[in-house]
Structure 1
């Protein structure tokens, strides 16, 4: 049976979580709304379709949601050139491929952002998802299910993510999840939301590839 490695991208493979938090802060300010950056950081990892309501309330989503998402995109795009891969990201992906894993990137980012990250990671030929591929983003399980359908739908799989939203999505998809702390979430909360192991860096995940939980 095929083994699959489902990798989150933002905060897991590329160092973007704090860029996203600042971009969302600026987007809300465009509409005279001030959401503390710490609260925005706590929401990074869920999709933009859910984030506005989560941090500012359903009334803001109903009246300004699409406008705020566009403002976020406008604020984030100039930062794209600052984004760098996290240490060990390329090594993890290539090691997994060499070990026989079907590797897929499960991102809810914009397609052009995801394509840029793939270029940064130098991992051509790896399947990936984007926000265009699902109607509902994390913590819904849809992205993980779509990602697996593209490489090995019947595979034994494990999800690697950096946020509580990745952990929740994996649990809802019925897949085990391990987490890295590169997105700024704490070990205790990642475990509380379903991570069986929590790593400080990606090279430690790579070292544990033969022993990752698969289901």
Structure 2
């Protein structure tokens, strides 16, 4: 049974952390197009159902999955590079926000600390949000600092870096909540993929799923699921949130490895 917004109606967050692709930005179709272009570039056919399996997956993992599922594991590095290159070109040409996302962010800006937690490279998130006019509303952007195949990367030059692993590890959401100055349980994550939902849940955030329901209506650990952020029930719930301590609109960014 799909969890409805009623499960969160008596609770209000002290900070909100958004996923980017498919939640704020309508970039999933760009990723799909980029995957198809990368497949064609190497003369490969996308395996059936690959788009759903790739949703929310870190692009390095996606490139490796593309190689494995076409029985071309030796092309993992080349497919990953092609995937990212095609995506950057597409998102630069056509940055679109998801229904209600822009209005939702602007309505909260200045009321609560806002952050973005994404599996995408920092330049992709910055480019997407910047071109859509949303970047200034977020105090922090958190992205992985190590590729998915190196979650236990050793310190460099004798220093111990802040390791932020990609979703479904909890790191990006846990880091974002900390940067917003709230406990994880006081923050709301807004996500469109089961990979992201798992990441936020593991970090201890409450989770609002948004968009089409995943295959089989399995919403994972989402506390509630809505079709879009501009629905009347979402707007009514959001208007009742008390204004908390906010960092306001901050033009600079924070990466996990700068903490």
How would you bin the TM-score normalised by the shorter chain?
Answer: 0.7 to 0.9
What is the correspondence of 1:12-51 to structure 2 with a 5 Å cutoff? Answer: 12-36=23-47, 38-51=49-62
The correspondence for 1:90, drawn from 74, 99, 102, is 102
CA contact (8 A) 2:119 2:144 kept: yes
CA contact (8 A) 2:47 2:69 kept: no
Name stretches of at least 5 consecutive residues in structure 1 with no aligned partner: none
The correspondence for 2:22, drawn from 5, 11, 29, is 11
Whole-Å separation in 2 of the counterparts to 1:104 and 1:61:
38
Aligned to 1:196: 223
Whole-Å separation in 2 of the counterparts to 1:187 and 1:153:
34
Greater helix proportion: 1
Whole-Å separation in 2 of the counterparts to 1:62 and 1:16:
26
Aligned to 2:195: 165
Whole-Å separation in 1 of the counterparts to 2:66 and 2:165:
17
Whole-Å separation in 2 of the counterparts to 1:105 and 1:121:
14
**Greater CA drift, 87-96 or 164-173:** 87-96
Q: Do the aligned partners of residues 115 and 63 (structure 1) sit closer, same or farther apart at CA in structure 2, a change above 3 Å counting? A: same
Q: CA offset at residue 22 of structure 1?
A: 1.7
CA contact (8 A) 2:191 2:209 kept: yes
The correspondence for 1:208, drawn from 237, 248, 252, is 237
Q: Do the aligned partners of residues 37 and 104 (structure 1) sit closer, same or farther apart at CA in structure 2, a change above 3 Å counting? A: farther
Q: Do the aligned partners of residues 23 and 57 (structure 1) sit closer, same or farther apart at CA in structure 2, a change above 3 Å counting? A: same
In the superposition, the TM-score normalised over structure 1's length comes to 0.82
Q: CA offset at residue 47 of structure 1?
A: 0.8
CA deviations over 1:44-95 (Å, ceiling 9, x no partner): 2121132234455389686332221110122112212112112322221122
Aligned to 2:141: 128
CA contact (8 A) 1:106 1:144 kept: yes
Specify the structure having the higher radius of gyration (Cα).
2
Whole-Å separation in 2 of the counterparts to 1:58 and 1:37:
10
Q: How many residues align?
A: 206
CA deviations over 1:109-147 (Å, ceiling 9, x no partner): 222221122221434151212344755311111211222
- For the aligned residue pairs, the C-alpha RMSD in angstroms reads 2.8
Q: Secondary structure at the residue paired with 2:218?
A: helix
The correspondence for 1:73, drawn from 74, 78, 84, is 84
Whole-Å separation in 2 of the counterparts to 1:149 and 1:18:
31
In the superposition, the TM-score normalised over structure 2's length comes to 0.69
